[in-house]
Amino acid sequence: MTVWADALIEGVLLGGLYALFAAGLSLIFGIMRLVNLAHGDLIVFGAFVILTITAWLGLDPFAATLAALPIMFALGFALQYFLLNRTLGRELLPPLLVTFGLSIIIENGLLEFFSADSQRLRAGAIEIASVPLGHDIAIGVVPMLTLASAIGIILALNLVFYRTSLGRAFRATSDDLEIAQLMGIDNPRIFSVAMGLAFIVVTIAALYLGMRANFDPTVGPARLLYAFEAVIVGGLGSFWGTLAGGMIIGVAQTIGAQIDPEWQILAGHLAFLAVLVLKPRGLFPRATD
């Protein structure tokens, strides 16, 4: 009994990480219908940025992440403003091809700069700290922080989307690009701000990716896959749905691993397929799509 409860808790916590991977993807797709195939590699890139800051300034990973946030926001803004905005239009293919190319460039650039060695963000004692929960079960502090950050990010994104004028502009632009321009909304700029925000989320995801396990420049695409699955299971455009989607994939993986370690990844994909069959639009689809 305990092992199953343990697997369930572990899966929910893992879901927090997947939700962090997915939230940025969900944000970008929701606003500008851009499927960012470089998202996984951008998370890995973020992890290397944090790593570099810890090495240069001798900061711990949390402080280094804080330092990385403005840099990453600016990078995201510039990427959208100077490159990705040019790919948006009626055609779906150009942004797919460009972000696919970007994914390859980032991965190979990181290999060139940082080599293929495994890296890790070292946070000291907190990495192995845990809180006992009843007998036989203990919850790691880092996984708990991961889930708490995922919930915090999703709360914050919902707040921005539904309680600020910037969020109004995001939703208006997503609804009707032409009419949004009639409101004086400068959509290339709005899209760039959105990408900047997505990069903030990416950076926080990168922190937990790097603290949880080893990473190297080639692990991005697998992260992208889990992120996609979480977004689609949750329903496009819904942040809470993305969190639920992440948890479903996470729980399926840990339960699968409990049955047989070889089943971990497969079980996640099977859960994804099952949701697609039962609810093709995801669990919490937006009404207006």
Partner 1 sequence: MALLETRGLTAFYGDFQALYSIDTIVEAGETVAIIGANGAGKSTYLKAIAGLISGLPDSIRFDGLPIGALPAAEIMKRGIALVPEGRRLFPSLTVEENLLIGRWGRAAAGPWSLERIYALFPALRARRNSASTTLSGGEQQMTAIGRALISNPRLLLCDEISLGLAPIVIRNLYEALPRIKAEGTSVVLVEQDIVQATKVSDRIYCFQEGRLSLAGRPAELSREQIHLAYFGT
| Residues lying near partner 1 in the complex (CB under 8 A) | 165, 168-169, 171-172, 174-176, 178-187, 286-288
Q: CA 178, CA 185: separation in Å to the nearest integer?
A: 10
Residue 13's SS3 state is helix
Q: CA 248, CA 230: separation in Å to the nearest integer?
A: 8
136 or 175: CB nearest partner 1: 175
User: How far is C-alpha 262 from the chain's CA centre?
Assistant: 25
50 or 157: CB nearest partner 1: 157
171 or 269: CB nearest partner 1: 171
In whole angstroms, how close is the CB of 159 to partner 1 at the nearest point? 15
42 or 194: CB nearest partner 1: 194
Nearest Cα neighbor of 23 from 199, 159, 210 is 199
In whole angstroms, how close is the CB of 71 to partner 1 at the nearest point? 28
Question: Tell me, what DSSP letter sits at residue 90?
Answer: S
Q: CA 250, CA 21: separation in Å to the nearest integer?
A: 12
* Residue owning tokens 């390859």: 104
Q: CA 162, CA 156: separation in Å to the nearest integer?
A: 10
187 or 254: CB nearest partner 1: 187
In whole angstroms, how close is the CB of 282 to partner 1 at the nearest point? 17
